[in-house]
Amino acid sequence: MEQYSDGYMEEEEEWDREGLLDPAWEKQQKKTFTAWCNSHLRKAGTQIEDIENDFRNGLKLMLLLEVISGEQLPKPDRGKMRFHKIANVNKALDFIAGKGVRLVSIGAEEIVDGNVKMTLGMIWTIILRFAIQDITVEELTAKEGLLLWCQRKTAPYKNVNVQNFHLSWKDGLAFCALIHRHRPELIDYYKLSRDNPLENLNTAFDVAEKHLDIPRMLDPEDMVNSVKPDERSVMAYVSSYYHAFSGAQQAETAANRICKVLKVNQENERLMEEYERLASDLLEWIKKTTPWLENRTTDNTLPGTQRKLEEFRDYRRKHKPPKLEDKARLENSFNTLQTRLRLSNRPAYLPTEGKMVSDIATAWKGLELAEKGFEEWLLSELQRLERLDHLAQKFRHRCQIHEEWAAGKEDMLQSQDYLRVGLNQLKAMKKKHEAFESDLAAHQDRVEQIAAIAQELNVLEYHDVQTVNARCQRICDQWDRLGTLTTQRRQGLEEAERILEKIDQLHLDFAKRAAPFNNWLDGAKEDLMDIFIVHTIEEIDQLLHAHETFKQTLPEADKEFNAIMALATEVQRLAQSCNLQLTENPYTTVSPQDISGKWSDVKQLVPKRDRTLQDEMVKQQNNARLRKQFADKANRVGPWIEDQLDAVASIGVQRSSLEEQLKKLKQYESATTQYKFNMEELERYNQEIQEAMIFENPYTQYTMETLRVGWEQLLTAIARNINEVENQILTRDSKGISESQMNEFRMSFNHFDKNKTRRLEPKEFKACLVSLGYNIRDDRQGEADFQRIMSIVDPNNSGYVTFEAFLDFMTRETADTDTAEQVMQSFKILAGDKPYITAQILRQELPPDQAEYCIQRMAPYSGRDAAPGALDYMSFSTALYGESDL
Amino acid sequence: MAGTGVVQLHRQSSMEPWGFRLQGGRDYRQQLCVKKVNPGTPSAGQLAPGDTIVGINNANAQAMTHMQAQTMIKNSGNNLALTVMRGYGGPDRIQSIAPKGPVKFQPRR
């Protein structure tokens, strides 16, 4: 008789002491125990047929123990003598005793003699020790544990109520429920009825044998016919179910753990790929865009430069904003990824060379540097080109007047008409020539002005400077020729004068007065048609004032005009009265018609000038309105943005909970989104201003460019803050940090974040750690400790520590859980304890996605015991955590 | 005590593992170090968890990636010389200088 230290089988001792065994039970135990032994012996390629005889020499008994324990027993004695047999059985009994089982009253002799009761008792001891004792459910042991397992598994089945290991199993439904619970596809449970016990038992035993590899150990007829089935036989059989299913369950748990770990890896790798892709795209765009912004050359024409300004507007409004979003998203996904890696105990992520967050920040800074002043430069370029355009127009206008004046002068000077006239006419010709000479002298200034304008156009690099220079050159050359010809003609006239004497006096007065008046008229016309460019109301006011002053001289000029015209009328009257064939006035080229024509021109030009100046006045007033419109708006939007920026920056410093911070930030975010139309309105005002060619605005200190920069800073700051707070929440929740601990962390961090950049330099971080009680000494050891801490909080070597990294560091799990070992252990379970695994097992146990992930990455297993296609799950598991066994 | 020394390891065949677990490398922004040592292997008693590996067979290992160091150690035949820095403590070292219990902020510490 056996006794267990845990004393769980007290009720059974009663019949044992009587030394009796119900013959029906004995029959059932023989069948069941034989089948149970064979279910193990078959692994060693053998079996027993007659349980009371086949164990008598002890050999198969030793083999059975080796198979079920997985351990080696001492070498059996090979002899056929009785004492050999007794020695072998004793070796088996010693082994069982060595497993902590007290064997009372079972002697080797009785086994060798084939005592049925003793043999069955010994086998039961083995079943108990090796198949049932290890079952532990919630600290209960053996029988109670197995019973509890059966009750839990059959709980959902209303017509099953397992209370023991005999009567509860008679109708067969409990067996069917156990199978259905684990493998529902094998049995159509809901078609079964408790009225067909034989059918139920047969169904369960067939399915168990065929699909679960559990041999039949019980006889359905025996179960149905016996008053109370043998408890030990039922327990032995049910324990086989437990082992079949709990093995599967263990594998499932292992597979789930591997899946969980791999999914984290796959998601992390996906995030890394996404980061790399985003980073490449963004860097590519920056690389493409920067040279365009750095290129400060134009085609030197107004339309070309305006086109460029239009392109720049497109860039600011359409192309840059999404890229700015990309940049923020990139930084945020980088932070999220690092948080995830830390939280899942993985090595930090190191982006490909050149794609670090700092690289992108540097490239972006380069872009903004190139962008800075680009618009200003374009506008100043526009202003310059516009001035040039006006100057060129002025040049052409002056050239035209001069060329009209100079037309025919060379022919006139070259004609030797004075040889064919009388003295009077000659004298007149001489006077006329003198007048011409003074006229010529008066034109000297104009030619010089034309040359000066041409010179200025050259200096300012007017695009069509060739045409200008050619025309200027023509005029200058002609001017030189005119000088020479004038001298020649005067010499000719003086030569002729000595021959001819008489002069005509009659026209003299007219000529004397008409010439200056004519000159005045030319000047007035020129002034009245003068083309001007103004930028302010003051300038146009000045022009209006000058024009008024000019108009006040008109009555005086009217008098002079009437006087001159009276002279001409007097000549007419005298000529008519004397019936004289009137020749042209020899003293002047200016005719009364010229004077009256030009005078009427001037009178028409005055009101026209009035209108032009008035129009310009209206335009300037409109410009002033546009400036005010922009300024009013800008003076409201600018401070708003600044206030928002201050408010966002101050959130992290306040002692409010993360959720409150997040809520506030979200409010700022939506307020900013709602405010966006103000920026758009400003952009419209700004475009109107640029299109009106307005370059300065004295009413506001804000320019569109500064406002845009502020706006983008605000958007970025909000998005970054939200991401930071969300990551902090993620860290806090996954680690269960209390609000008061959180406040300690934030208070110390803010205290050392002197310049409010929301990150600490290494020196500040060290002081912060010390203030929180870290024992960092002031020697080489302390320096080494601190360097080790830095490598944890700043794995990317960025040179600063964010609040989140600080928080994560302060709340690291104290126990360094060796998760690589856990994953390895899980693979080991799937692999059935082998040091390698096969693709087939992986595909069978894991979802397709994770199975392929493993198969692609696992190296072939190279141990001596490798099977074909064996894969190395150990190096794979360590590599997941950046480690390797060597 | 803090210091650098050379550890000579020897094994019977290249099939036999050295018996320690390597962690870190330039690609992990962490110095190469010994994570654990298996008893009954050539490394037992020679290496200790937390040893920082600064040289492998006379080559400077401070700039090596994990894979480079791993390949070098694997291909090192039956003799392996590791230059290690010890005494600054292993991964648990930081735990030992950390404050005990909930932290309390004291700026004038």
Chain A positions in Cβ-Cβ contact with residue B103 (cut-off 8 Å): 741, 744-745, 772-773, 810
The answer on pLDDT for A528 being more than 70 is yes
Interface contacts (A, B; CB < 8 Å): 97
Which of B29, B31, B73 comes nearest A796 by C-beta? B29
Would residue B56 count as lying in a domain?
yes
Which of A350, A772, A796 comes nearest B99 by C-beta? A772
Which of A785, A796, A883 comes nearest B94 by C-beta? A785
| Phi-psi label, residue A373: left if phi above 0, alpha if psi -120 to 50, beta otherwise | left
Chain B positions in Cβ-Cβ contact with residue A775 (cut-off 8 Å): 97, 99
- Alpha-carbon gap, residue A196 to A480, rounded angstroms: 137
pLDDT digits (tens, 9 = 90+) for A445-477: 889 999 999 998 898 888 888 999 999 999 999
What interhelical angle do A803-810 and A320-343 show, nearest 10? 10
Nearest to A301 by CA among A381, A396, A394: A381
Chain A positions in Cβ-Cβ contact with residue B98 (cut-off 8 Å): 773-774
The beta-strand segments (E) located in A796-881 are: 801-802, 837-838, 859-860, 870-872
Q: ∠ CA(A785), CA(A786), CA(A787), 5° rounding? A: 95
Chain A positions in Cβ-Cβ contact with residue B14 (cut-off 8 Å): none
Asked whether the beta carbons of residue B29 and residue A795 sit closer than 8 angstroms, the reply is: yes
Q: Name every residue in B having a CB less than 8 A away from some CB of A.
A: 2, 15, 17-25, 27-31, 35, 66, 70, 73-74, 88-89, 91-95, 97-99, 102-109
Q: Which amino acid is at B43?
A: S
Would residue B23 count as lying in a domain?
yes
Q: What does the pLDDT average to over A365-394?
A: 87
Range name among A139-148, A214-223, A856-865, A874-883 with the lowest pLDDT average: A139-148
Asked whether the beta carbons of residue A350 and residue B66 sit closer than 8 angstroms, the reply is: no
The answer on pLDDT for A662 being more than 80 is yes
Compare all CA atoms of chain A with the CA of B96 and give the residue at the minimum distance. A775
Q: Is A623 exposed, middle or buried (0-12, 13-18, 19+ CB in 10 A)?
A: buried
Which of B66, B95, B105 comes nearest A747 by C-beta? B105
Q: What is the mean pLDDT of chain A?
A: 84
Q: Which amino acid is at A558?
A: D
The whole-number pLDDT of residue A8 equals 42
Share of chain A above pLDDT 70, in %: 92
Which range of A70-74, A384-388, A740-744 scores highest in mean pLDDT? It is A384-388
Would residue B98 count as lying in a domain?
no
CA–centroid distance for A308 within its chain? 29
Q: Do residues B103 and A811 touch, judged by C-beta distance below 8 A?
A: no
Task: Pick the more confident residue, A808 or A628.
Answer: A628
Q: Could you tell me the end-to-end alpha-carbon distance of chain A, in angstroms, rounded to an integer?
A: 53
Asked whether the beta carbons of residue A789 and residue B99 sit closer than 8 angstroms, the reply is: no
Asked whether the beta carbons of residue B70 and residue A796 sit closer than 8 angstroms, the reply is: no
Would residue B51 count as lying in a domain?
yes
Asked whether the beta carbons of residue B23 and residue A883 sit closer than 8 angstroms, the reply is: yes
Q: What does the pLDDT average to over A198-220?
A: 89
The answer on pLDDT for A802 being more than 80 is yes
The answer on pLDDT for A579 being more than 60 is no
Asked whether the beta carbons of residue A883 and residue B35 sit closer than 8 angstroms, the reply is: yes
Instruction: Looking at the complex, report in whole angstroms how far the Cα of residue A660 sits from the nearest Cα belonging to chain B.
Output: 23
CATH of the domain at B51: 2.30.42.10
Chain A positions in Cβ-Cβ contact with residue B24 (cut-off 8 Å): 882
The answer on pLDDT for A499 being more than 70 is no
Q: What does the pLDDT average to over B100-104?
A: 72
Instruction: Looking at the complex, report in whole angstroms how far the Cα of residue A768 sits from the nearest Cα belonging to chain B.
Output: 8
Range name among A29-43, A221-235, A728-742, A812-826 with the lowest pLDDT average: A812-826
The whole-number pLDDT of residue A140 equals 61
pLDDT digits (tens, 9 = 90+) for A624-644: 899 999 999 999 999 999 999
pLDDT digits (tens, 9 = 90+) for B49-94: 878 888 999 888 877 888 889 999 988 889 999 998 875 555 566 7
Which of A741, A771, A781 comes nearest B2 by C-beta? A781
Which of B20, B27, B29 comes nearest A797 by C-beta? B29
**Mutation for B interface: A338, A751, A884, most B CBs within 10 A:** A884
HEC letters along A777-808? CCCHHHHHHHHHHHHHHCCCCCCCEEHHHHHH
With a CB-CB cutoff of 8 Å, which residues 349-378 of chain A face chain B? 350
Task: Look up tokens 């050392």; give the residue.
Answer: A752
Task: Pick the more confident residue, A722 or A102.
Answer: A722
List Cβ<8 Å contacts ≥24 apart for A52-57. Answer: A52/A114, A52/A115, A52/A116, A52/A119, A53/A114, A55/A89, A55/A111, A55/A119, A56/A85, A56/A111, A56/A112, A56/A113, A56/A114, A57/A84, A57/A85, A57/A88, A57/A112
Which of B20, B25, B28 comes nearest A886 by C-beta? B20
The whole-number pLDDT of residue A651 equals 82
Asked whether the beta carbons of residue A878 and residue B2 sit closer than 8 angstroms, the reply is: no
The whole-number pLDDT of residue A255 equals 82
Chain A positions in Cβ-Cβ contact with residue B65 (cut-off 8 Å): none
Asked whether the beta carbons of residue B103 and residue A745 sit closer than 8 angstroms, the reply is: yes
Compare all CA atoms of chain B with the CA of A746 and give the residue at the minimum distance. B105
The whole-number pLDDT of residue B89 equals 56
**Mutation for A interface: B14, B29, B51, B54, most A CBs within 10 A:** B29
Query: Distances from the Cα of A268 to the Cαs of A16, A338, A804, in angstroms?
Result: 64, 9, 19
pTM here? 0.51
Chain A positions in Cβ-Cβ contact with residue B107 (cut-off 8 Å): 748, 751, 771
Asked whether the beta carbons of residue A771 and residue B109 sit closer than 8 angstroms, the reply is: yes
Which of A774, A885, A886 comes nearest B99 by C-beta? A774
Chain B positions in Cβ-Cβ contact with residue A864 (cut-off 8 Å): 15
pLDDT category at A66 given cuts 50, 70, 90 is confident
Asked whether the beta carbons of residue A771 and residue B24 sit closer than 8 angstroms, the reply is: no
CA atoms in the 13 A half-sphere facing the CB of A294:
9
Domain holding B54, by residue range, is 3-86
Instruction: Looking at the complex, report in whole angstroms how far the Cα of residue A776 sits from the nearest Cα belonging to chain B.
Output: 7
pLDDT digits (tens, 9 = 90+) for A619-628: 889 988 999 9
The whole-number pLDDT of residue A3 equals 40
Chain B positions in Cβ-Cβ contact with residue A347 (cut-off 8 Å): 28, 30
β partners of residue B10: B79
Share of chain A above pLDDT 90, in %: 18
- Other Cβ atoms less than 10 A from the Cβ of A7: the count is 8
The whole-number pLDDT of residue A506 equals 56
Asked whether the beta carbons of residue B21 and residue A886 sit closer than 8 angstroms, the reply is: yes
Would residue B39 count as lying in a domain?
yes
Q: What does the pLDDT average to over A23-41?
A: 87
- Alpha-carbon gap, residue A121 to A16, rounded angstroms: 10
- Other Cβ atoms less than 10 A from the Cβ of A164: the count is 14
Q: How many domains are there within chain B?
A: 1
Task: Pick the more confident residue, A510 or A836.
Answer: A836
Instruction: Looking at the complex, report in whole angstroms how far the Cα of residue B61 sits from the nearest Cα belonging to chain A.
Output: 16
The answer on pLDDT for A113 being more than 80 is yes
Which of B21, B89, B94 comes nearest A878 by C-beta? B21
Would residue B91 count as lying in a domain?
no
Instruction: Looking at the complex, report in whole angstroms how far the Cα of residue B76 sits from the nearest Cα belonging to chain A.
Output: 11
Asked whether the beta carbons of residue B18 and residue A886 sit closer than 8 angstroms, the reply is: yes
Asked whether the beta carbons of residue A785 and residue B97 sit closer than 8 angstroms, the reply is: yes
Provide the token pair at B76. Answer: 């090192």
Would residue B92 count as lying in a domain?
no
Q: What does the pLDDT average to over A151-180?
A: 89
Would residue B45 count as lying in a domain?
yes
Nearest to A767 by CA among A757, A755, A754: A754
Instruction: Looking at the complex, report in whole angstroms how far the Cα of residue B98 sits from the nearest Cα belonging to chain A.
Output: 5
The whole-number pLDDT of residue B14 equals 82
pLDDT category at A814 given cuts 50, 70, 90 is very low
Q: Is A814 on the interface with B (CB under 8 A)?
A: yes
